Amino acid sequence: MTDIAAATAAERRELADLLDSLTPDQWDAPSLCAGWRVREVAAHMSLGFRYSLPRFAAELVTARGSLHRMTDRAARRDAASLAPAELAALLRDHAHHPWKPPAAGPTGALAHDVVHGLDITIALDHPRRVPEDRLRPLLDAVTPRGLRFFGVDLTGIRLVADDLDWSRGTGSPVHGTARELLLVLFGRRLPAGRLHGGAEGSPVPPTLVA
């Protein structure tokens, strides 16, 4: 748990530095989160630090109990009201905050930050790489229940990482970097060319790519 907390804090600080380096055009570029620009993703990442439990509950009631509707509304509103420098500072200043997503396990906060960071960097084709000691526990922690939650069906598919010794599933191989395969496990559809089939030339299932 101490290692996961330290990894989460490091991830937040590094993402804050990355956000500080973005241009105005990059802040307004689309992310891998459908309908969100980079600035909405950044605003969403700090929601847990900024919203008290009573406020969160009130926002959820206003959204008629839909967590998706509530987080989408909050991300859009907060992205419009907070400057880029403020959004980056919120991550940096709350690096050690204990928040984690509702009903999430020990790696929940790390997964939340790493995946949303990748929603930004993969979409921008940014060269940042997430360290292996943060990626591997997340790859190994995704459960069948988690796959169902994110609408991921790996029937007949074997995911194979090209940059570390990791695979999951059985069937036709689909290759990519570990960070790209983590996004697949969290229901993201990747830009064309990010994933490739096995040596047999098997195609990448259309459900995995945009």
CA–CA dist 109, 149 (Å, integer): 17
User: How confident is residue 17, by pLDDT bands cut at 50, 70 and 90?
Assistant: very high
Six-digit token pair at 191? 């830009």
Question: Helix, strand or coil for residue 197?
Answer: strand
User: How confident is residue 167, by pLDDT bands cut at 50, 70 and 90?
Assistant: very high
Per-range mean pLDDT, top range of 62-66, 87-91, 98-102, 171-175:
87-91
Q: Tell which residue, 91, 81, 90, 79, has the closest CA to residue 37.
A: 79
For residues 15 and 67, state if they share a domain.
Answer: yes
Assign residue 64 a region: left if phi > 0, alpha if psi is -120 to 50, beta otherwise?
left
Position 177 scores a pLDDT of: 96
- pLDDT one-digit tens code per residue, 39-89: 999 999 999 888 877 887 887 788 787 778 888 999 999 999 999 999 999
Position 1 scores a pLDDT of: 55
User: How confident is residue 208, by pLDDT bands cut at 50, 70 and 90?
Assistant: confident
Position 2 scores a pLDDT of: 66
User: How confident is residue 200, by pLDDT bands cut at 50, 70 and 90?
Assistant: low
* CATH number of the domain enclosing 9: 1.20.120
Position 201 scores a pLDDT of: 59
For residues 161 and 123, state if they share a domain.
Answer: no
| Overall domain count for the chain | 2
For residues 161 and 57, state if they share a domain.
Answer: no
User: How confident is residue 14, by pLDDT bands cut at 50, 70 and 90?
Assistant: very high
Tokens 């709350």 found at = 94
Looking at every residue in the chain, the average pLDDT score rounds to: 91
For residues 156 and 117, state if they share a domain.
Answer: no
- pTM for the full predicted model: 0.92
Beta bridge partners of 157: 172
Q: Tell which residue, 193, 194, 162, has the closest CA to residue 178.
A: 162
Mean pLDDT of the region 169-182: 94
For residues 121 and 149, state if they share a domain.
Answer: no
Task: Look up the domain containing 41 and give its range.
Answer: 2-134
Which domain-ending residue is among 81, 116, 134?
A: 134
For residues 167 and 114, state if they share a domain.
Answer: no
* CATH number of the domain enclosing 179: 3.30.1050
User: How confident is residue 111, by pLDDT bands cut at 50, 70 and 90?
Assistant: very high
CA–CA dist 87, 80 (Å, integer): 11
Q: How far is CA 158 from its chain centroid?
A: 21
Position 70 scores a pLDDT of: 86
φ/ψ of 175, rounded to 5, equals -105, 150
Position 199 scores a pLDDT of: 61
- pLDDT one-digit tens code per residue, 120-156: 999 999 999 999 999 999 999 999 999 998 999 999 9
CA–CA dist 135, 184 (Å, integer): 13
